[in-house]
Amino acid sequence: MDLQLTGSRVLVTGGTRGIGRAVVETFVDEGAVVEFCARDAAEIEATEEAVGGRATGVQLDVRDGPALTGWVEAAAGRLGGLDAVVANVSALAAGPGEENWYASFEVDLMHTVRLATAALPHLEAGGNGSIVAVSSVSGREADFAAGPYGTMKTAIVGYVSGLAFQLAGRGVRANVVSPGNTYFEGGFWQGIEHGNPELFADSLALNPTGRMGTAEEMARAVVFLSSPVSSFTTGTNLVVDGALTRGIQL
């Protein structure tokens, strides 16, 4: 299927590792022009090299609201507009303590709000804009990550659902992808596999497929929802979890 993304102008936050890196690579493979941000300069350079210079990275901490807004404006200028943005970054702050609540609020939720707000005029100008936020199945049901992480992931779904309703008549779609447990090199679940093998085994056993998802599988969902092919899909929460969660979405 041609996703009609050739020449599309796309921003991705947290584009150097895991799902974010796979999102960048998938957009590039579909012919999009991509800018991404991340905090680590070396990882940015490695990602640029891995995609053959077909995407450009900017060093940025998304907790810095003015810097995030400034990047969106500058990137829109460099690209000549925006067609899609992907709010991918997470603080992965699952433990107790107020510092994790603040981190999850600023990184997971507010970076999504700020990215969407800054990008909206550019997305609206194009007439077929897309906002996709990456949430989690931990935002759909209570699990071991309940607390700051799960709460903010739930809030992202609520925010984007409202945004979709508000923007439906303005040529901009807004959707969420909620990945299940996703295993990749250097990622959260690889760390759990070595640091807490009992939790890893228990989590793996919950999935009837017998495995965890890959970053590439999550990225394909993000890119599809971002594409013109998905032109009548807005306000959805696409759960990609291999039937890990059992709840029925009504």
Domain count, the chain: 1
Q: How is 51-72 classified by DSSP, letter by letter?
A: TTTSEEEEE--TT-HHHHHHHH
Question: Is pLDDT at 144 greater than 80 in this prediction?
Answer: no
Confidence of residue 168 (pLDDT cuts 50, 70, 90): very high
Mean pLDDT, residues 138-149: 84
Residue 149 designated active-site: yes
Q: Is residue 1 part of a domain?
A: no
**Which entry of 90, 130, 138, 153 is annotated as an active-site residue?**
153
Q: Is residue 3 part of a domain?
A: no
**Which entry of 8, 90, 130, 135 is annotated as an active-site residue?**
135
Q: Is residue 248 part of a domain?
A: no
**Which entry of 8, 104, 130, 149 is annotated as an active-site residue?**
149
Question: Is pLDDT at 246 greater than 90 in this prediction?
Answer: no
CATH of the domain at 100: 3.40.50.720
- Residue 132 · residue 84 · CB < 8 Å: yes
Q: Is residue 249 part of a domain?
A: no
- Mean pLDDT, the chain, integer: 95
Q: Is residue 231 part of a domain?
A: yes
Residue 136 designated active-site: yes
Mean pLDDT, residues 55-70: 98
Q: Is residue 2 part of a domain?
A: no
- Give 14-43 pLDDT, tens digit per residue: 999 999 999 999 999 999 999 999 999 999
CA angle 53, 33, 137 (to 5 degrees): 100
Higher pLDDT, 186 or 37: 37
Q: Whole-angstrom Cα distance, residue 198 to residue 195?
A: 9
Q: Is residue 71 part of a domain?
A: yes
pLDDT value at position 248?
A: 82
Confidence of residue 110 (pLDDT cuts 50, 70, 90): very high
3-state secondary structure labels for all residues of 129-150 = EEEEEECCHHHCCCCCCCCHHH
Output the pTM of the full model: 0.95
Residue 135 designated active-site: yes
Q: Is residue 196 part of a domain?
A: yes
Higher pLDDT, 220 or 147: 220
**Token pair recorded at residue 124:** 């609206």
Q: Whole-angstrom Cα distance, residue 86 to residue 120?
A: 12
Q: How is 162-196 classified by DSSP, letter by letter?
A: HHHHHHGGGTEEEEEEEE-SB--TTSHHHHHHHH-
- Paired residues of 55 in beta bridges: 34
What is the domain extent for residue 82? Answer: 9-240
pLDDT value at position 96?
A: 87
